[in-house]
Structure 1
Amino acid sequence: MSLRLEWNNEQDKMDIPEAWIARLEQLLQLAGEAEGLTDGEVALTFVDDAEIRRLNREYRNIDRPTDVLSFAMREESDGEPGIIFGDGGPEPEEFPEMLGDIIISIERAKEQSEQYGHSLEREIGFLFVHGFLHLIGYDHQDEASEAVMMEKQEAVLRKAGLPR
């Protein structure tokens, strides 16, 4: 098995080049390797600001667009179970564990890439790795956890040739 990326494009502001998808698949493998995670599936959806604002309002009660949202399938800190295979069900190795969903606003990513003075590909990569780390349990609620998360993100991006 391996880490798998399933993606969709639900926005019409910009075409998604195949090279970006190849880069995101590379980033998924590198981030997984760095975390000792070799199996699982991540669903990625590209949306516009209106859709990410709707999702942000619905799931976080924040009525404004954001750059990335992550929805983890396993919430171990809350004691919620993940996907469980019962008797007679499929074998776990037949279906990779769904780690969760990452939603990226193309409009917000483009705006941020211009603001930070780097490529849109780098910004999309950053948001994707950020979302992935959230899926596997990282957060940035305080300065210490934010520093850990930022270093992990930057290490993966440097390894992929997408430094700041």
Structure 2
Amino acid sequence: MAVNFFNEDIDIKLKDKSKLKTWIKNTIEEEGFKLKDINYVLCSDAYLLTINQQYLNHNTYTDIVTFDNSEKEDQIVGDIFISAERTQENAEKFNVSPATELHRVMIHGVLHLCGYYDKKPEDKALMTEKENYYLAKRIF
């Protein structure tokens, strides 16, 4: 079981990696799943736009793209691509710290892997409620 962090075309240093990993694992377990393997790839807007176009046929900028690679229903395996530029912009827009916005997006990806959606208004409301709940449980 592992949570891995990678950078692609940007240089960003995450603080408290071990605490981040524990928080992510605890979230997954509280949702009733087992963590097997999650890879977070922090990248630029341009890099994530290419991923969005190539794999999802979306020609828009986004803060996150999540790929669910799970083979068993109770295990979490996935790749989560996050635009560090977009999370920085959103932090300013929503008047929160860059770390808080990055953590929100990180847990948003986990929630997608746990089966939550955000396309319909009621699904988005539940997703935001879950994000807020788990953000409040951060151990750092």
Match in the other structure for 1:52: 48
In 1, distance between residues paired with 2:76 and 2:28?
14
Letter in 2 for 1:26: T
Gaps of 5+ in 1: 75-81, 84-96
Q: Does 1:145 align with 2:129?
A: no
Match in the other structure for 1:39: 35
Match in the other structure for 2:3: 5
Match in the other structure for 1:71: 67
Partner SS state of residue 39, structure 1: strand
Aligned counterparts, 1:49-128, within 5 A: 49-74=45-70, 82=71, 99-128=77-106
> What is the root-mean-square deviation of aligned Cα atoms in Å?
1.9
Change (3 A) 1:124 1:136: same
* TM-score of the two chains, using structure 1 as the length reference: 0.76
How far has the Cα of 1:98 moved from its partner?
5.6
Higher RCO (C-alpha 8 Å, min separation 6)? 1
In 2, distance between residues paired with 1:161 and 1:118?
18
In 2, distance between residues paired with 1:102 and 1:61?
17
Letter in 2 for 1:127: V
Partner SS state of residue 152, structure 1: helix
Higher relative strand content: 2
How far has the Cα of 1:40 moved from its partner?
1.5
Letter in 2 for 1:17: L
* TM-score of the two chains, using structure 2 as the length reference: 0.87
Partner SS state of residue 101, structure 1: strand
In 2, distance between residues paired with 1:27 and 1:121?
14
Give a deviation string over 1:58-81, Cα, whole Å, max 9, x none: 11211122100100013xxxxxxx
Q: What percent identity do the matched residue pairs reach?
A: 28
Q: Does 1:133 align with 2:111?
A: yes
Q: Is the 8 A contact 2:35 2:76 kept in 1?
A: no
Give a deviation string over 1:60-119, Cα, whole Å, max 9, x none: 211122100100013xxxxxxx27xxxxxxxxxxxxx56110000010011111111111
How far has the Cα of 1:125 moved from its partner?
0.4
In 1, distance between residues paired with 2:69 and 2:76?
7
In 2, distance between residues paired with 1:139 and 1:104?
17
Match in the other structure for 2:134: 156
How far has the Cα of 1:36 moved from its partner?
1.9
